[in-house]
Amino acid sequence: MSHGTLLHNHPSGDPKPSRDDIEMTKEIAKAAEALGIAIHDHLVIGRKGHASFRSLGLLS
């Protein structure tokens, strides 16, 4: 199985994942799994730092 990491920025500067970010990540992870790809993490970058879905318990 291949592995991948998702990454995007929040121009607002706040790296906290939005509800839409969480739902989109679930959809992408499900589609990726069907293709034999495991999503390792999803990082959100902002001016105030970054957020890791895996560290936040949003991606297992």
Domains of the chain: 2-52 (3.40.140.10)
pLDDT of residue 60: 78
Point out which residues pair with 28 in neighbouring strands: none
Q: Which of 5, 1, 38 is nearest to 50 (CA)?
A: 5
The pTM score is 0.89
Q: In what order do the strands lie in the sheet with 49-52?
A: 2-9, 37-46, 49-52
pLDDT in tens, 20-54: 999 999 999 999 999 999 999 999 999 989 999 99
